[in-house]
Amino acid sequence: MANATIPLVPVRPPALNALRIKRPVEAGWMSCFTAAALQLVGARFRRAAHQIVTWPEGDYALDTDATVRTHTDLPVRVLWRASHGCEYAAVAITYQSSGEIGSQVTAATYTTAGAVQDAGFLWRLADGTLPASSSDDPSEDAYPIMIATTGAATHTGTGVGVSPRPLIIGAANRGAMVEARLTPVNTRLISVSVWELYRTQVAE
């Protein structure tokens, strides 16, 4: 059940000329500050989930010859209970990739029973959505940690060839446990963060 004290539409902060030094701050402006803070916390950024990925020493070597390089391409699963009003989930990853052909990360959502909710999309080296983190200097063995995100612009395309976008949380799955599954290929995931997104609307 939604909290009736949390506004669902954005609240404008008080005008700057109402907050000048040596001028009393009236109760109306304080109420406005409170409503704006509640809207941000309770309506826009209600839930988030974060997963730090740890790799056993030697399981993944980015700085070895390509002919002997080994990859641990196991899925990273991030579980959280979706809010009842959640429609989308934005995703951000930190990763390392040497730029090997075929490097990619698949992002999709599942139920806890393993059923696909949203077939998702691919971050891919091939189309530039997953830039390689290899050093420009061939004498260096450094692979900086990179960041890739879905952004907040939503669309409904799914599967291979779809550009990164927030994952869709279906109406039947809102308020239930959701699994965001990130499957890397020739890529080392360092962390995965998921934030719920909401459309601002007023129900009539």
Q: Over 60: is that where the pLDDT of 204 sits? A: no
For the chain, the first-to-last Cα distance in angstroms comes to 17
**Mean pLDDT, range 162-178, rounded to an integer:** 88
Q: Over 50: is that where the pLDDT of 1 sits? A: no
- What's the pLDDT at 67? 46
CA–CA dist 134, 141 (Å, integer): 8
Distances in whole angstroms, Cα of residue 55 to Cα of each of 52, 103, 181, 190? 10, 18, 17, 9
Neighbours of 195 (CB within 10 A): 21
Q: Which residue has the higher pLDDT, 68 or 1?
A: 68
- What's the pLDDT at 178? 92
CA–CA dist 86, 131 (Å, integer): 30
- Name residues whose C-beta falls within 8 Å of residue 8's C-beta, 6 or more positions apart in sequence: 2, 39, 43, 200, 201, 202
* pLDDT band for position 28 (cuts 50, 70, 90): confident
Looking at residue 176, what DSSP letter applies? S
- The pLDDT tens digits for 55-83 are 665 545 554 444 444 555 778 999 988 88
- What's the pLDDT at 133? 76
Tokens read off for 159: 């599967």
Specify the range with the lowest mean pLDDT, choosing from 22-26, 42-46, 73-77: 42-46
**Mean pLDDT, range 79-103, rounded to an integer:** 86
Question: The pTM is what?
Answer: 0.69
Tokens read off for 41: 């916390």
**Mean pLDDT, range 31-38, rounded to an integer:** 75
For 47-197, give the CATH class: mainly beta
| Phi, psi for residue 38 in degrees, rounded to 5 | -65, -40
CA–CA dist 44, 196 (Å, integer): 8
Domain boundaries, the chain: 1-44, 47-197
* pLDDT band for position 105 (cuts 50, 70, 90): very high
- The answer to whether 203 and 151 are in contact (CB under 8 A) is no
Q: Over 80: is that where the pLDDT of 127 sits? A: yes
Q: Over 50: is that where the pLDDT of 43 sits? A: yes
Name the helix (H) or strand (E) containing 164. none
